[in-house]
Amino acid sequence: MNLQDKNAVIYGAGGSIGGGVAKEFAARGARVFLTGRHEPALTKVADEIKETGGVAEVAVVDAMDETAVDAHAASVVAEAGSLDISLNLVPRGDVQGIPLVEMSVEDFVRPITTGVTTNFITARAAARHMITQGSGVILALDSGSAQGSPMMGATGSIDAALDTYIRNLAVEIGPHGVRALGIWVAGIPETFTPEKLSAVYNQLPASPEMMANVLDGLTEARMTKRSPLLAEVAATLAFLASDGAMGITGTFVNVTSMFPS
């Protein structure tokens, strides 16, 4: 129970990764505040957490809306007494599989704008409260593609921006007892569906055969020749959010098994 009495806000909690991480945080003793734009998905995760004895709250919050994010963060502190963990898992709308010279401006710019904006707004909201209380951790997630990955569209560019932002934020807020760090995650098979893959690789058909080919390619690209499980990713984030990781900040932990870091 290494997150006992911690209050954690998860943005984008209705997705596959968000739900898995929220359940892991709650199982380790955290009170989780689930946010996103689709209430039914959030409520489903919250109900599953409550069924196992965990504590979860739901709020519809658009992470692109700084007023809404600031108000929600303030409400968490007013209700729970502190904001100890902030995790951004908001989808960015990445488009991949198209050469950069053939990509539209809209498809290239959208994930950069969304990723930078939501991470800045949510981290800023959390950091302001964490600085006041003298503790807390801000967590981010990207694919680690800034290391150089072809046919990934704007993914490498936004990953690089997020990597740099988190490192710079960590330097500024560290003296106040607040940490900022993240993990690299490049593909969790349990979270994939043909429809989700087709939305990213929109030139490919949404079919089981297409999904199998993508998953096989990911496995082959990994140094360990195996893909990380959702439970492993969630456990890593839970450790990084815990007091047992107090010495870790300003960096990204590689959970891809792909890019040497």
Q: 115 and 201 share a domain?
A: no
240 and 164 within one domain: yes
69 pLDDT exceeds 90?
A: yes
Residue 201 pLDDT > 90: no
Same domain, 202 and 123: no
Please report which confidence band the pLDDT of residue 221 belongs to, taking 50, 70 and 90 as the band edges: confident
| Total domains present in the chain | 2
Three-state SS for the chain is CCCCCCEEEEECCCCHHHHHHHHHHHHCCCEEEEEECCHHHHHHHHHHHHHCCCEEEEEECCCCCHHHHHHHHHHHHHHHCCCCEEEECCCCCCCCCCCHHHCCHHHHHHHHHHHHHHHHHHHHHHHHHHHHHCCEEEEEEECCHHHCCCCCCCHHHHHHHHHHHHHHHHHHHHHHCEEEEEEECCCCHHHCCHHHHHHHCCCCCCCHHHHHHHHHHHHHHCCCCCCCCHHHHHHHHHHHHCHHHCCCCCCEEECCCCCCC
Q: Minimum mean pLDDT among 75-79, 98-102, 211-215, 245-249: which range?
A: 211-215
Is position 199 within any domain?
A: yes
**pTM (predicted TM-score):** 0.93
Pair 18, 106 in one domain: yes
The answer, yes or no, to whether residue 236 has pLDDT greater than 70, is yes
Average pLDDT, the chain: 92
- Domain check: are 183 and 56 in the same one? yes
The domain of 203 spans 189-227
Establish if 30 belongs to a structural domain.
yes
Report if residue 260 sits inside a domain.
no
> The CATH number of the domain where 23 resides is what?
3.40.50.720
104 with 32, same domain: the answer is: yes
Residues 193, 73 share a domain = no
Check whether residue 218 and residue 168 sit in a common domain.
no
195 with 243, same domain?
A: no
Same domain, residue pair 222 and 246: no
